[in-house]
């Protein structure tokens, strides 16, 4: 896994990484009721409509998750949810941020929740016309402003 090799090399060089954000499937949104699924028991706490962007970290990254969600919401009129949960929960470590956790760096995944919302995830039917470009653009603009704030611009 390239991200693991890279994170390990960063650690070996003593690089100071204050946050790693892994963009993992951020283009699928729907206002259809009951379009969002979760691993148990998260459906008790989070929305059932898949129209939001999620910021997901492990328990050690709870502060980063709160900071990022607060900044994103301050800069962007777009539904967002954040969660800092045990890394063993299905889906929580399914991207490159996991590699940074292994090296002790704070990292989180920015996601539309992929297979918990999008039935075409990793299937031949996952084609470009399924991307919600308008909402994706709004999310990217919000992420740009949020990253700028985190970087101290």
pLDDT of residue 90: 80
Q: How many Cα neighbours within 13 Å face the side chain of 114?
A: 18
Range of 108's domain? Answer: 2-12+19-150
- The order of strands in the sheet holding 107-111 is 20-24, 107-111, 53-57, 80-84
The tally of domains found in the chain comes to 1
Report the percent of the chain where pLDDT is more than 70.
Answer: 99
- The model's pTM is 0.93
φ, ψ for residue 4, nearest 5 deg: -70, -45
End-to-end CA distance of the chain, in Å? 32
Cis link prior to 41 (omega < 30° from 0)? yes
Under 8 Å CB-to-CB from 60, ≥6 apart: which residues? Answer: 101, 106
Report helix, strand or coil for 109. strand
- Separation of alpha carbons 12 and 6, rounded Å: 10
Residue range 40-97, pLDDT digits in tens: 889 999 999 999 999 999 999 999 999 999 999 999 999 999 999 998 888 888 899 9
Residue 70: give its domain's CATH number. Answer: 3.40.630.10
């Amino acid at each position: 896994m390239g991200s693991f090799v890279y994170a390990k090399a960063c650690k070996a060089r003593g690089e100071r990484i204050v946050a790693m954000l892994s963009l993992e499937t951020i283009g699928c949104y729907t206002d259809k009721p009951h379009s969002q699924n979760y691993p148990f028991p998260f459906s008790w706490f989070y929305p059932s409509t898949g129209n939001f962007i999620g910021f997901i970290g492990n328990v050690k990254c709870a502060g980063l998750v709160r900071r990022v969600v607060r900044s994103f919401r301050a800069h962007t009129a777009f539904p967002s949810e954040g969660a800092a949960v045990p890394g063993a929960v299905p889906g929580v470590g399914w991207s490159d941020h996991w590699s940074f956790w292994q090296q002790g760096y704070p990292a989180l995944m920015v996601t539309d929740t992929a297979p918990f919302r999008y039935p075409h995830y990793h299937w031949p039917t996952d084609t470009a016309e399924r991307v919600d470009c308008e909402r994706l653009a709004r999310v990217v603009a919000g992420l740009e402003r949020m990253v700028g704030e985190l970087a101290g611009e």
